[in-house]
Amino acid sequence: MQKDELLITASLARLELREDEIDRLDEAVSSMIEYFTVMDEIDVDDLEPTTHAFVRDNRTRDDLFSGDSSMPDRLIENSPEREDRFIVVPNVI
Amino acid sequence: MSWNTICGSRENADKYRAYIGEWENRIHSMLEYRVEHCEQGENRISGSLLSGMPFAAKDNIAVRDFKLTCGSRMLENLVSPYDATAVKRLKEAGCIPVAKTNMDEFGMGSSTDNSALLVTNNPWDTDRVTGGSSGGSAAAVAAGLVPFALGSDTGGSVRQPASFCGVYGLKPTYGAVSRFGLVSYASSLDVIGIMSRDISIIENVFNAVKGQDLNDQTSIEYRDSDSLSLAEKPVFSVLKNPEGLSLEVDEAYRNAAALLREKGYEVREIELPVLDYVVPAYYTIATAEASANLARYNGVRYGYRSSKGETPSELMKKTRDEGFGDEVKLRILLGTYVLRSGFQDRYYVKAQKIRTRIMNELDDVFRTSDLIMLPSFPVPAFRHGDESMSQYQQKVADKFTVTANLAGIPALSFPAGNYNSLPVGLQFFAPRYGEKMLLDAARIFENDYPVMNPQGFKTAEEIIG
């Protein structure tokens, strides 16, 4: 893979790679992509793609409160930085 | 059985804690253990065969008030606010969670050496890996630290470490066990599995955790009437020419097939041409799904946050660079690449068509055979840092395990003897809903291939004796 292709992919994946990582990962990604070309050999054109091992219809459930009123606070407590019940992030503007 | 009574007294708990501590100094299978939960022993359920049993869960399975690190720096300090459905059901059956086990980061690896937090050693030889990614669970079970442990199997992560450590490892039918509370890696392949030294414990645990769950859209109902039974004289299929096996695994595979014939079972030799394509198809699909699932780790709502980000976007990029290890980054990059516009048909759609082919080939085999017997992995446990088993080589070696995940069928790795003092495991594949068939087939070998004890192993009776 070309290095700029790797950097475009990294940017799409929101990964900021350091210089030393770029060379290492470029080699690893390229050898896997090359390995994936083995799939070119097999003719499966007439088959439908399988997205899921078990195909079922969508199921819905009633939109009910789960019954644990402490859950929202317990989840918010896991945030890295907060003020009262708000999660703090750097300035957007 | 002493595993039902080991919990509940200070005296037993102290002995139990000491036994775990002794082993953990050598193998480091657990990221966290809390025997005090066991000491309280308040969780007795009459009539449950699992009542009072302690157990361990891989650290990507949520247990309330335990950490949920996934073996990653990204989640090193995350404490789970809830129980996974499988854990909740085990607690209802009287089981007591006592430990969270080490794993390859986010389930990505075949050695557990990709954990960012701890190096786990094989109880049979501490210079060797436990396999992965549920390596901590396999090692803890093999050393007798818990009667069973939960793992997760996306491409073999329960069966391969079970084979490296000499225990049983069940990968259930896709959807048979709710994924609610299992941290997602590749959602169309992930399933919670069970490891134990005892077939009946696996059976009881599976029956306790299986079935539909409103919190997991992909979970299946799994009524008793859905469960397939093993025919009186089941027909087995084996590979005619298994390629790339080490001498030990090749010998174990041939011996097991010969033993089945000796016992009067019909053993057919088959070819599975699609096996040459399952690994690239698996890594295409798994990494594509992983790249989407791991997008949630961005330093905003929970988990690690970089101190360097000046803008939200910079914060996310730096958090992800600092929080993820190399193997995780590799798989996110691969998955992002195969999903990029212009490449989708060549990789992702092609892989999904190969997936259809796999299901068709297996369906054909199951028309004339009840079960397929395969190696679990081409080699026994390798050494830490073994250069002949690079990350790339480990992936290529996944071909016998990933096939079951792509097809959504159940599979069971069972101990098939020790070779050069290391356990070798083989596995059965069954059609969907065939868990009972797998366990009964393993019972055919139970006396020929008893579960072996690594040096220093004690039974529950001996621990509290």
Q: Mean pLDDT, to the nearest integer, of B185-206?
A: 97
Task: Please give, rounded to a whole number of angstroms, the shortest distance from the CA of B314 to a CA of chain A.
Answer: 9
What is the rounded distance in angstroms from the CA atom of residue B129 to the CA atom of residue B362? Answer: 31
Q: Which residues of A touch B295 (CB under 8 A)?
A: 13-14
Give yes or no for a contact between B145 and B29, defined as CB atoms under 8 angstroms apart. Answer: yes
Q: What is the dihedral of CA A50, B274, B386, B416, to 10 degrees?
A: 100
Say which DSSP state A52 is in.
-
Q: What are phi and psi of A2, to 5 degrees?
A: -70, 150
Task: Please give, rounded to a whole number of angstroms, the shortest distance from the CA of B311 to a CA of chain A.
Answer: 5
Please give the share of chain B, as a percent, with pLDDT higher than 70. 99
Q: Rounded to 5 degrees, what angle do the CA atoms B119, B292, B340 make? A: 115
Long-range Cβ pairs for the range B257-265 (8 Å, 24+): B257/B373, B259/B445, B259/B448, B260/B236, B260/B373, B260/B444, B263/B444, B264/B233, B265/B233, B265/B234, B265/B235, B265/B236, B265/B444
Q: Mean pLDDT, to the nearest integer, of B213-235?
A: 94
Full strand arrangement of the beta sheet holding B411-419: B30-33, B96-101, B54-58, B148-152, B192-196, B168-171, B411-419, B422-429, B371-375, B235-239, B266-270
Instruction: Enter the pTM of the model.
Output: 0.97
Give yes or no for a contact between B239 and B193, defined as CB atoms under 8 angstroms apart. Answer: no
Give pLDDT, residue B72.
Answer: 98
Q: Mean pLDDT, to the nearest integer, of B232-256?
A: 96
Radius of gyration of chain B (CA): 21
Q: Which of B217, B311, B317 sits opposite A15 (nearest CB)?
A: B317
Query: Residue B355 and residue A41: Cβ atoms within 8 Å?
Result: no
Which residue is listed with tokens 């081409």?
Answer: B378
Which of these is catalytic: B134, B157, B178, B196? B157
Q: Mean pLDDT, to the nearest integer, of B415-419?
A: 97
B8 pLDDT band, cuts 50/70/90, is confident
What is the rounded distance in angstroms from the CA atom of residue B196 to the CA atom of residue A46? Answer: 42
A71 pLDDT band, cuts 50/70/90, is confident
Please state which of the ranges A76-80, B20-24, B302-306 shows the lowest mean pLDDT. Answer: A76-80
Give pLDDT, residue A3.
Answer: 85
Give pLDDT, residue B1.
Answer: 58
Give yes or no for a contact between B102 and B117, defined as CB atoms under 8 angstroms apart. Answer: yes
Which of these is catalytic: B72, B111, B133, B219? B133
User: What type of residue is A7?
Assistant: L
Catalytic annotation on B58? yes
Q: Mean pLDDT, to the nearest integer, of B317-322?
A: 96
pLDDT at B379 over 70: yes
Task: Please give, rounded to a whole number of angstroms, the shortest distance from the CA of A22 to a CA of chain B.
Answer: 11
The tens digit of pLDDT for each residue in A37-57 reads 999 999 999 999 998 877 677
The tens digit of pLDDT for each residue in B419-440 reads 999 999 999 999 999 999 999 9
Which residue is listed with tokens 């621990």?
Answer: B463
Q: Which of A32, A47, A53 sits opposite B188 (nearest CB)?
A: A53
Who wins on pLDDT, B176 or B38?
B176
Please give the share of chain B, as a percent, with pLDDT higher than 90. 91
pLDDT at A92 over 90: no
The tens digit of pLDDT for each residue in B60-114 reads 999 999 999 999 999 999 999 999 999 999 999 999 999 999 999 999 999 999 9
pLDDT at B401 over 80: yes
Q: Where are the alpha helices (DSSP H) in B324-377?
A: 326-339, 350-368
pLDDT at B47 over 80: no
Neighbour tally for B112: CB within 10 Å? 34
Residue of chain B whose Cα is closest to the Cα of A62: B214
Q: Which residues of B touch A56 (CB under 8 A)?
A: 218, 220
Give pLDDT, residue B43.
Answer: 64
Give pLDDT, residue B41.
Answer: 63
Give pLDDT, residue B42.
Answer: 60
Q: Mean pLDDT, to the nearest integer, of B446-451?
A: 97
Residues 232-271 of B with CB under 8 A from A: none
The tens digit of pLDDT for each residue in B324-344 reads 999 999 999 999 999 998 999
pLDDT at B222 over 80: yes
* CB of B332 less than 8 A from some CB of A: yes
Q: Mean pLDDT, to the nearest integer, of B314-324?
A: 96
Residues 6+ apart with CB under 8 A from B186: B154, B155, B285, B286, B287, B289, B290, B293
